[in-house]
A and B are shown apart, each in its own frame.
Chain A
Amino acid sequence: GPSRDGRVRIGFVVKQPEEQWFQSEWRFAGMAARDKGFELIRIGAADGDRVLTAIDNLAAKNASGFVICAPDPRLGTAIEQRARVNDLKVMSVDDRLIGPDGKPIDSIPHVGISALAIGRMAGETAIAEARRREWDIGRTGVLRIAYDSLETGRDRTMGARGAIIAAGLPPAHVFDAPQRTTDTEGGFTAADPVLTRHPDLRHWIVTGLNDEAVLGGVRAAEGLGLRADSVIGVGIGGSGTAEAEFAKRQPTGFFASILLSPRKHGYDTSVAMYEWIVRGSRPPSLVYTDGKLMTRDNYRRLLAEEAA
């Protein structure tokens, strides 16, 4: 029920609170809270144990429901149970929760991207640009900066890989560079030896789960003397990292990013949760949001639209 002072309280739990993406989601959720007059409680929860603790904390604060991006989709059952015990409504964002049978839990409404589809979009963007530059496919390599322990990371990069292979590039030209950390340095360190190993390949497409990883790959290529016109990096996120690359005077190998909308994920979800609590109108069980292609040419406009 509502708290002592009658205000509705809604939790917003995210798995990696340090990440820019989640910071943005929180910011938009905060805007929703101001607009609708509810109180938002932000909690970061990096693993299953902390997710359960976060739910208990929300209950202690008399919240009525929460939106969550869980550190793992298979926490679904536990989250559902814990929410039920504490009488909290729950909605997922970004990553969809699944049950013990491996199927999505329909009782938990979800708003998110399709990681595979976004990845495919990145791959298609890259291959289209390669065609435009008239690269010799036989001398083009693809760097998949891999972080496969994260499911959406794997889906995104495999989506890109799939799209590129479907476009005719030989699978033997796709090389995995496993990264230890998802930051630029991690991408850099992973990419460097792989690029080194293939001096014969003149052109490179770089994919990764986020802008930072791809940027690391691009920087490594530059370090090996590959110039902007022989590298196509397509990131995912449309983050500040991508913005900074586009803002540089000279184009770099970082060609594009797929802009995801933290606004829809943050603002729309918390509003939906608010409506559910006060009006009892259950949100639709699945909403996919799409990504927008962001390049040097359009990034200012897209970001302005997003911030509006």
Chain B
Amino acid sequence: MSGDILLAYEGVGKRFPGVVALDAVSFSVRAGEVRALMGENGAGKSTLLKILAGEHRPDSGAITIGGEDRIFVSPRDSQAAGIAIIHQELHLAPDMSVAENLLLGAFPACAGFIRRGAMRARAAGILARLGEDIDPDARLGDLSIGKRQMVEIGKALLRDARIIAFDEPTSSLSARETETLKRIIGELRADGRAILYVSHRMEEVFALADSVTVLRDGRHVADYLDMTRLTQDQLIAAMAGRTIADIYDYRPRPLGDVHVEIDAIEGPGLSAPVTLSIRRGEILGMFGLVGAGRSELLKLIYGAERPTAGSIRLDGGRLDASSPRRAIAAGFALCPEDRKGEGIVPLAAVAENIAIARRNLADRRAPFIDRPAETREAGEMIGLMRVKTASPATAIATLSGGNQQKAIIARWLAADARILLMDEPTRGIDVGARSEIYAHIYRLAEAGRTILFASSDMPEVMGIADRIVVMRDGAISGVLARAEATAERLLRLALPDAAPR
């Protein structure tokens, strides 16, 4: 079923200060093949793709494209060779239209003048193919993260490339978009393209890929060319170097009193008042499709957006949720969805990024920084969360995406938050680390912390939540106890076209 070798890495090596990102990696991909790249956070997957994209130059080794040795010096160069990459982070211009973002770098033009009709037509075509109901003239910045991710995918598809690489495309997509993506990848495969696919989601990899390459700490560990003879456990063992029995490993706990009560809260992004009550020690899952309003609800609770009506009560007392600072003082914490835009301070050290919330707790009045204590604490947190970093003083921007995410969670552990609002906290995190994070979440819950956990990953929500709130179009469409939550019920509540209960 597969054709000739289209893409081959030959002994590719790449090092960054203090880190060997890639160490002599060799493998090849054929036309019509979907090759999954797997490995823990920081294993070097994105670096491998960035070398293909012409963003990094390898220190050693080479890439061959269709049998020809190539080293790309710029993204233009790589694109000209028929390569399209969907990057792990979004790269879009917020003030331009969707159509312009889709066709950026390849505007249909005549003598330098843009052919607007052609541009809209092509954009509309690709959006239709993606099954997205997005106006090509909409301002990109007005779309939710999930829709932006779809635009990012559309951009690559429009290039009509021979080799297409996806770097965690589904980390901010929900079930429906993921299905669309699977369909499209199927079409591309049938069309004889070579596809590289990076993901931490096992189900996806088993459903989509023809073969898997596993990396660990920059080293090439194994290739599995026949997926039918591979099990999840084998794959996890290859990635992590150890076995993980059940990544969710749900631990039932007795729940405490009512901790947080959300009373008819209204605000931007919500279409109807939201009322919820959450008990101490509870892990409340929040499920929904892209744009369902989970992120907006969390931000309203956190005071990052002003509610237009309604109130929040904490242990029965009314909470002034008018700013994140007030919310933090009351014990809240938010791990935001948009890690790069809202989570990290990129050029600051990992240790600084961890210490920032604790320092600013309203009840800590010390003007001076206690460096030794902070350094010690950061070291502990880095150990606890297994953040892979050259040192606590490394700029966080140089960490792999998943490790950045872990550092943000560490920030709130250090600040000893009592109510954690986690918006897609495992987005882009590898299986091993995920099971660690789940274990932390259980530990926190057992210690009486309350957790709101928004996720688009259905098995994850079903795996760890005590109770699941499903949102649809800016309103709660249902609340399911753990026992009643089946995939079918969740989807029925989440899908806009399904009949209400």
Q: Do chains A and B touch in the complex (CB under 8 A)?
A: no
Which residues of A approach B to under 8 Å, CB–CB?
A: none
Which residues of B approach A to under 8 Å, CB–CB?
A: none
